[in-house]
Amino acid sequence: MKNLIITAVAALLTTTAAFAHDYKVGGITVMHPKAFETAKTANVGGGYMTIENTSKTADKLIAVRVAEIPRTELHLSETDANGVARMIKQDGVSIPAGETVMFKPGGLHVMFMGLGGDPFEVGEKIEATLVFETAGELDIVFNVEARGADDHSGMKHTGEMKTD
Ligand SMILES: [Cu+2]
């Protein structure tokens, strides 16, 4: 009977952790990493998440590695004075001490590049490793979700054009 209770508690904890979809390393917490489904012909997809730094030391996200995708970059979407939107490659993204940084459509995002012919599908999981300057490496999973109204995949993508 005792074993049965322990099993039930373990199952409950596992379920809760999976639902929360958060990841921690040092003072860094990464919340709800997600990506949107992409069209069959899309060559790029965006990754979004919230990163909180509860430590007293500034940190910096310097790379995102994904084994199955040719290249992954950190991008910032900006709209200039003429209303033209473009994406600018970032060498790293600072996560100041005690602050929370949001990666979201129209702003900072992870750019998965070179998808060619292998689109993201709803329910798919993208295993990735985030590399922080101070906290080190953190394995996370981006859940692929249905495309939102605020998706930016139709935007002009200068980073992609430069590198192709
Ligand atoms: Cu981008």
Mind listing the pLDDT tens digit for each residue in 27-72? 999 999 999 999 999 999 999 999 999 999 999 999 999 999 999 9
In this structure, the strands spanning 28-36 and 136-145 are parallel
Q: Which domain holds residue 119?
A: 22-163
Query: Is the Cα dihedral 121, 122, 125, 130 positive or negative?
Result: positive
Which of 47, 38, 32, 42 has the alpha carbon at shortest distance from 121?
38
**With contact defined as beta carbons under 8 Å apart, do 52 and 31 qualify?**
yes
Q: pLDDT higher for 1 or 36?
A: 36
Q: Is residue 107 part of a domain?
A: yes
pTM of the model: 0.78
Q: How many domains does the chain have?
A: 1
Q: Is residue 14 part of a domain?
A: no
Q: What confidence tier does 117 reach under pLDDT thresholds 50, 70, 90?
A: confident
Q: What confidence tier does 161 reach under pLDDT thresholds 50, 70, 90?
A: very low
Residue 11 CA to ligand 1 center (angstroms) comes to 38
Q: Is residue 11 part of a domain?
A: no
- Output the domain CATH number for residue 146: 2.60.40.1890
Written as one string, the DSSP assignment of 21-81 is TEEEETTEEEEEEEEE---TT-SEEEEEEEEEE-SSS-EEEEEEE-TTSSEEEEEEEEE-T
CA distance 164 to 160: 6
Q: Is residue 16 part of a domain?
A: no
Q: Is residue 156 part of a domain?
A: yes
Q: Residues with Cβ within 5 Å of ion ligand 1? A: 75, 87, 111
Q: What is the pLDDT of residue 58?
A: 97
Q: Is residue 82 part of a domain?
A: yes
Q: Which two tokens stand for residue 155?
A: 């935007």
* Region label for 39, one of left (φ > 0), alpha (ψ between -120 and 50) or beta (otherwise): beta
Q: Is residue 152 part of a domain?
A: yes
CA 20 to chain centre: 15
Residue 126 burial by CB count (10 A; 0-12/13-18/19+): exposed, middle or buried? buried
Q: Is residue 47 part of a domain?
A: yes
Residue 73 CA to ligand 1 center (angstroms) comes to 8
Residue 137 CA to ligand 1 center (angstroms) comes to 22
Give CA separation, 68 vs 76, 125, 127, 129, in Å: 23, 11, 9, 12
